[in-house]
Amino acid sequence: MGAPGDGIAIVLVTKTPERAAAIATSLERADDRLVAEPTADTDAALRVLRDTPVDCLVTAGGLTDPTGVPFVETVRDRHPELPIVFCPDEALDAAAVSDAFEAGATDVARSCGESDRTPVLVRRISNAVASARAVAEAERQRRRLEAFTSGVSHDLRNPLTVAQGRIELARREGDVGHVDDAAAAIDRTFELIDDLLTLAKQGERPRELDSVELSDLAERCWANVATGDATLVVDGDRRLLAHPSRLKQLLENLFRNAVDHGGDDVTVFVGDISPMYTTTRAETDLPTGFFVEDDGRGISQDECEDVFDVGYTTAEGGTGFGLNIVREVANAHGWEVSVSEGTRGGARFEITGAESGG
- Give per-residue pLDDT as tens, 118-139: 888 899 999 999 999 889 878 8
> How many residues comprise the chain?
358
The reported pLDDT for the residue numbered 280 is: 41
Q: Is the pLDDT of residue 5 over 60?
A: no
Over residues 17-45, the pLDDT tens digits come to: 888 888 889 899 999 899 999 998 889 99
Measured CA to CA, the distance from residue 28 to residue 32 in angstroms comes to: 6
Q: Which of 50-64, 87-101, 227-241 has the lowest mean pLDDT?
A: 87-101
Neighbours of 131 (CB within 10 A): 13
Measured CA to CA, the distance from residue 322 to residue 313 in angstroms comes to: 9
Measured CA to CA, the distance from residue 97 to residue 78 in angstroms comes to: 21
Q: Is the pLDDT of residue 49 over 60?
A: yes
Confidence band of 231 (pLDDT split at 50, 70, 90) = very high
Q: Is the pLDDT of residue 235 over 80?
A: yes
Q: Enter the pTM of the model.
A: 0.52
Amino acid at 245: S
| DSSP SS3 for 283 | helix
The string of DSSP codes covering 154-176 is: HHHHHHHHHHHHHHHHHHHH--T
Residues 6+ apart with CB under 8 A from 112: 23, 58, 60, 87, 118, 121
Measured CA to CA, the distance from residue 64 to residue 207 in angstroms comes to: 43
Q: Where are the beta strands (DSSP E) in 246-310?
A: 267-273, 289-294
Percentage of the chain lying above the pLDDT 90 cut = 25
The string of DSSP codes covering 332-350 is: HHT-EEEEEE-TTSSEEEE
Measured CA to CA, the distance from residue 168 to residue 291 in angstroms comes to: 49
Q: Is the pLDDT of residue 156 over 70?
A: no
As a whole number of angstroms, the longest Cα–Cα distance in the chain is 89
Mean pLDDT score, 242-263: 87
Partners of 271 in the beta sheet? 235, 291
